[in-house]
Structures are given as C-alpha cells and as structure tokens.
Chains A and B, each alone.
Chain A
Amino acid sequence: EIVLTQSPGTLSLSPGERATLSCRASQSVNNNYLAWYQQKPGQAPRLLIYPASSRAAGIPDRFSGSGSGTDFTLTISRLEPEDFAVYYCQQCGTSPYTFGQGTKLEIK
C-alpha cells in the first residue's frame, strides 16, 4: 500500500499569507494521479485539485497543485478566511486508494 505523509501536521498563518502544504508518497504515484481535498468541520470533503495540478470546477485560482512521482505540493497563494480548514491528499492510481493524514491550516 502507498503511504502518504503530509507535512506539516498543523500550519498557522494569517489571512493574506501564502500556504504551502506537502504530500510525500512512499512510492511513485501512478501517472501522478493525486488529488487534494479541503474539509471544514462538520462537512464532507471537497475536491480541490486533480490530477496533481488541475483545479476542480469552481475552485478559485489561488489554489494550485504541483509535483510528480513521490512529492506533491498544494499552494494557496493568498489565504482567505474561508480557507482555514483541514487538507488531505489522496493517491488515486493504485488500490487501496490511500489518503494522507491531513494538514490542519489554522488562523494565526
């Protein structure tokens, strides 16, 4: 099974700052099939990015994804108040389709 490790576990930033979230895979992700999701308390996750660098429908362009192989990054260029949430990466190419443990983005 591919293990995804997200870092940092918690990121404390202020609105307007830039956020960089990392997702590292224990082995190469097939065809860079990696997704990013955002989850707010009490809500279902929402798809942000797939595969690796393409924004899902309706996702603001301040969200961007990059990376390949085993190292992937989600960048939020200028944080808005509604961006503070938990972010998960998921590898979508090999069963079992594993998720990272999440990065909590909190207001500083």
Chain B
Amino acid sequence: QVQLVESGGGLVKPGGSLRLSCAASGFTFSDYYMSWIRQAPGKGLEWVSYISSSGSTIKYADSVKGRFTVSRDNAKNSLYLQMDSLRAEDTAVYYCGRDGLPAGLYFDHWGQGALVTVSS
C-alpha cells in the first residue's frame, strides 16, 4: 500500500535552516508529482510547493518563495524540502502529499506529518 513517511522536523531558531525528507513506498514514485502542504497549530491547510515527476517543474507558494527549495531523488523514492531563513510563522506540521493524477493538483495520499517549530 502507499506509504509516505516524513522525517527531519524539530525546533530551530529564527533565521535557521532545516531539511525535511519524505520516504515513499508502495507505488512508482517517479510517476507522480509530489507536494508539501503545511498546517500551523490549530489552523487550516496551506499548499507550500510541488515538484513534477521528473523534477523539471517546480512551484512555490509566495509565502516561501526564495527561502524553501523542494527536490526529489527518484532513485531513492524520496522527496525533500530545504527550509532556510525560517520565521516564526513557518511553525507548522509539514505533510508530503502525492498528486492524485491525472489532472489538477490534489492529494490522494498524505504522510503523517513532521512538526517544525521556529522559536528562540
């Protein structure tokens, strides 16, 4: 069955960096677009970034553009999110999500989430 497992969350100071990973299994990872979606404590959902199946197309939400970098390694069935210049407002649970295909960007499978806390 499809499994997505995030790791790498933790406590970081404002201005610091963190790298999240998402390990995928149970499907052909290289066939799917993947996204990061976040949820601040007690708040709603916010799409953060997507990367195409080959990695050639990437998009970001304006709130993270220039600070976050999404990447993938299809040989390792893994998705990554490099987060730099972190701010308090980046505090959230970060989910990786698989694009459901064939059209539009929606998420038919989600990981369990990784908590990122930005605080001094």
Which residues of A are in contact with B by a Cβ distance under 8 Å?
A: 30-31, 33, 35, 37, 43-47, 50-51, 56-57, 88, 90, 92-93, 95-102
Complex CA–CA separation, A93 to B62 (angstroms): 17
B residues 89-120 with Cβ under 8 Å of A?
95, 100, 103-113
What are 17 pairs between A and B in contact, CB < 8 Å? A31-B103, A33-B103, A45-B95, A47-B109, A50-B100, A50-B104, A50-B106, A51-B103, A56-B100, A88-B44, A92-B106, A95-B59, A96-B61, A97-B105, A99-B45, A99-B47, A102-B45
Which residues of B are in contact with A by a Cβ distance under 8 Å?
A: 35, 44-47, 50, 59, 61-62, 95, 100, 103-113
B45 cross-chain contacts in A, Cβ below 8 A: 37, 45, 88, 90, 99, 102
A92 cross-chain contacts in B, Cβ below 8 A: 104-106
B110 cross-chain contacts in A, Cβ below 8 A: 44-46
The residue on B at minimum CB distance from A49 is: B106
Pick from A35, A93, A99: contact of B44, CB under 8 Å: A99
State the Cβ distance, B76 to closest chain A Cβ, in Å. Answer: 22
Pick from B35, B50, B61, B108: contact of A47, CB under 8 Å: B108
Contact A44 B95 (CB under 8 A): yes
Pick from B50, B95, B106, B113: contact of A90, CB under 8 Å: B106
Complex CA–CA separation, A78 to B26 (angstroms): 34
Pick from B47, B100, B108, B112: contact of A96, CB under 8 Å: B47
Complex CA–CA separation, A43 to B108 (angstroms): 15
The residue on B at minimum CB distance from A47 is: B108
Contact A44 B106 (CB under 8 A): no
B103 cross-chain contacts in A, Cβ below 8 A: 31, 33, 51
A57 cross-chain contacts in B, Cβ below 8 A: 108
A43 cross-chain contacts in B, Cβ below 8 A: 112
